[in-house]
Structure 1
């Protein structure tokens, strides 16, 4: 196995371990909510004037899937839609008080997981962080280009 294969395999393994470790606590604390719903709530809270297009791009989903998801969240009373007086065409989303509760639970869980893993990150130097981030950014840009070559625009279908 060459180093490229090893890096990909280790990334996948690391991601799977994180998901496995966090999954039961996430599911227990956010019962009745799918990961896509929670991530949609997270994006809306962190980004002013979230709309279907921005959500689709961020969550790597089609606009149609986001429309269904946001309608479901509206019915659950977690988000509400609004329009700006100067732009009656565009529909935006914001969290309701109930949606903010779900967001807070999710954020608190992430902080707990970050605290659990702090010992590892405290040993990483700035140079190591910079190197890792540089590699991830470069690889991500490469994958974006490969997706474009396929003629697929997953960020705004």
Structure 2
């Protein structure tokens, strides 16, 4: 296996191990909510004026799928829609108090998992962090260009 394959396999394995390790605690603490719902709540809390288009782009989902997801979240009382007085056409989302509770539970779990894994990151030098971040940014830009080259547009799907 060459180094490229080792890196890609390693990244996939790391991700899968994190998901597996965190899964039981996440499911127990956020019972009744799907991963998509929780991550949608997280995005809305962290991004002002979240709308269907921004959510679709962020999650690489269609606007139709995001519309269904946000409708479910509204029905569950986790988010609410609003419009701005200067733009009555666009619909935005914000968390309700109940949505903020779910957001906080999710954030606390992430902090707990980060604390668990701190020992590994404490051993990484600034240069190593910079190198890894540079790789991630370059690879992400490359994939963005490939998506664009294929004429894929998340917004219209």
With normalisation by structure 2, the TM-score equals: 0.98
For the pair 1:44 / 2:44, whether they are aligned, the reply is yes
1:103-143 Cα offsets, whole Å, 9 max, x none, are 00000000000000000001101110000000001001111
Runs of 5+ unmatched residues, structure 1:
none
Who is 1:13 aligned against?
A: 13
Who is 1:105 aligned against?
A: 105
1:57-79 Cα offsets, whole Å, 9 max, x none, are 11111100000000000000000
CA distance in 2: counterparts of 1:77 and 1:50, whole angstroms: 17
Q: Tell me if the contact between 1:22 and 1:113 (Cα under 8 Å) persists in the aligned partners.
A: yes
Deviation at 1:146, TM superposition (A): 1.1
Number of equivalenced pairs: 157
Would you identify which runs of 4 or more consecutive aligned residues in structure 1 move more than 2 Å? 154-157
For the pair 1:61 / 2:57, whether they are aligned, the reply is no
Runs of 5+ unmatched residues, structure 2:
none
In structure 2, relative to structure 1, the CA distance for the partners of 1:9 and 1:48 (3 Å cut) is same
Aligned CA-pair RMSD: 0.9
